[in-house]
Amino acid sequence: MKNVEGPPYVPGHALLAGRSAVITAAAGAGIGGATARRFLEEGARVLISDAHARRLEAYRTELAEEFGEASVAALPCDVTDESQVRALFDTAVREHGRLDVVVNNAGLGGTSELVDMTDEQWSRVLDVTLNGTFRCTRAALRLMRDTGGGVVVNNASVVGWRAQAGQAHYAAAKAGVMALTRCAAVEAAAHGVRVNAVSPSLAMHPHLAKVTSAPLLEELTAREAFGRYAEPWEVANVIVFLASGYSSYMTGEVVSVSSQHA
């Protein structure tokens, strides 16, 4: 698929200097991996997690060689397992002393018409995408309410707003992430914690190319006003903004990262 040339990469500006962050589903070339890199470029220390231990360690090594061993740690985590989620957040505090930012990026997609969808397909997508975000948000808020501040950024999707055939389970999960974001934000505000979400339309990465047909990708790309899909780092830039002090008066918001035609 041809991609129209995008903008030049934006350098870091120390927007997250001194911050400690947890980023889920951060192994590889997708939004999570791009977010980890952008956070490091902005001066943060990160703990990255993923269900794929080998890929996670490979990416941690790559980042550590570039940004230093003290800046990046990794721990495998299946967000459908509460004990693993607890271990992830305990490790964040142990490794970096505190927790300032959590990026809930873990999600699972798939394509199936509703009439053919099995209970297992439905439940699996919701457990990773919605329940996983719930578990990690809950763990984050329990820590942040005691330290008097912090930021949670969830990864939703425009599919949570807009219908797409074959995506009932994913759309329901992402709409749930949006509602969870708004409710959590109201509860967390009294503790100085902000909770927002990004809602990307089409950010290209290798995994998406593997699980989505070429005709569908062409159709989705044609909907974008720029005539191209987003690079993962372009979504990560908005996550950086929401994690930084530049968005200090924003909470409960879902920010669309999209150039789709109305």
Is 249 catalytic? The answer is no
**Residue appearing with tokens 């808020």:** 141
Could you tell me which of 236, 239, 225, 88 has the C-alpha nearest to residue 152? Answer: 239
Distance separating alpha carbons of residues 44 and 50, to the nearest angstrom: 19
The total of other beta-carbon atoms located within 10 Å of residue 171's CB is 19
Do 69 and 45 meet the contact criterion of CB atoms below 8 Å apart? no
Structure tokens at 15: 């927007």
Long-range contacts made by residues 8-13, C-beta under 8 angstroms, separation at least 24?
Answer: 9/233, 10/233, 10/237, 11/41, 12/38, 12/41, 12/42, 12/43, 13/42
Q: One of 170, 229, 246, 249 is an active-site residue; which one?
A: 170
Helices (H), strands (E): how many in the chain?
Answer: 9, 7
Which residues carry out catalysis?
170
